[in-house]
Amino acid sequence: MNKSNVLKYVIPIIAVLVIAESVYLVNSLISSKDSVNKVVDIVGQDYMAEETSQEKVMLSVVSDAEDYSIGSELTVNVLMVSKEELLADAINLYVSYDPTMAEVSDLVAGEGMPKPTFEKISDKKNMVVMNYYIEDNGLAFEPGEGRILATFKAKILKEGELNFDLSTGIEDKDSATMIVENSTSEAVPFSVSNLRVEIVK
């Protein structure tokens, strides 16, 4: 996937206070005359895992699907954009979801990513998990470069709020999304934009 295709997934990240939430519209009303199902809106929810002034990375859960009707299947991507040069030793992704709202399948690494150390779709923990541990000099990211870290399919099962949220460990410390920098061996501060879709009849 070339850079222009990757960058179309980028959702602008708005600076906010620590753990404060900011909801914004990322798509207009989607409806179909041939279907009784329609989408009211698609919203993203931003919050900071660390102080805004220290933020180095933006993580987004995104989909460019046009059909959000019940029974349709979405392609969901976890996108990372680095604000500065970065060498990552490890990337741990945890995306929570409601298995009664969507059936998740076909979890794969993003194009150009190394082979994951661990990957799993867990209906028991309601979590999509993908972990990378990079040997030697780490995985390089250039400033402003957008890269898809993971991709999976999600089949919409019923009406309601369909959420795919990157877990930051606030509720479950064992399921904390984390990026570890090569030079410091410390976690990199990042912001998050989650995918939230309201499905109604």
Quote the distance between the C-alpha of residue 53 and its chain's center. Answer: 22
**How confident is the model at residue 32, as a pLDDT?**
29
pLDDT reading at 25 higher than 50: no
**How confident is the model at residue 66, as a pLDDT?**
85
Architecture of domain 3-200 in CATH?
Answer: Sandwich (2.60)
pLDDT reading at 38 higher than 60: no
- Dist CA 191 CA 149 (whole Å): 15
**How confident is the model at residue 145, as a pLDDT?**
87
Return all residues near 96 (Cβ < 8 A) that are at least 6 apart.
126, 127, 128, 163, 164, 165, 166, 167, 175
- Greater confidence, 35 or 186? 186
pLDDT reading at 1 higher than 70: no
What's the token pair of residue 19?
A: 């753990």
Compute the mean pLDDT over every residue in the chain, rounded to the nearest whole number.
77
pLDDT reading at 80 higher than 90: yes
- Dist CA 176 CA 178 (whole Å): 6
**How confident is the model at residue 155, as a pLDDT?**
95
- Dist CA 199 CA 37 (whole Å): 8
**How confident is the model at residue 171, as a pLDDT?**
73
pLDDT digits (tens, 9 = 90+) for 155-188: 999 999 999 999 988 777 788 999 999 888 899 9
pLDDT band at 47 (very low <50, low <70, confident <90, very high): very low
pLDDT reading at 36 higher than 80: no
**How confident is the model at residue 183, as a pLDDT?**
87
Going by their DSSP bridges, the two strands 57-62 and 38-48 should be labelled as unpaired
- Greater confidence, 19 or 100? 100
Please report, rounded to a whole number, the percentage of residues in the chain having pLDDT higher than 90.
56
Residue type, position 180, single letter: V
pLDDT reading at 52 higher than 70: no
- Dist CA 121 CA 94 (whole Å): 10
- Dist CA 156 CA 161 (whole Å): 10
pLDDT reading at 4 higher than 80: no
pLDDT digits (tens, 9 = 90+) for 98-155: 999 999 999 999 998 999 999 999 988 899 999 999 987 889 999 998 999 999 999 9
- Dist CA 120 CA 106 (whole Å): 10
Quote the distance between the C-alpha of residue 127 and its chain's center. Answer: 12
Domains of the chain: which residue ranges?
3-200
- Dist CA 98 CA 114 (whole Å): 28
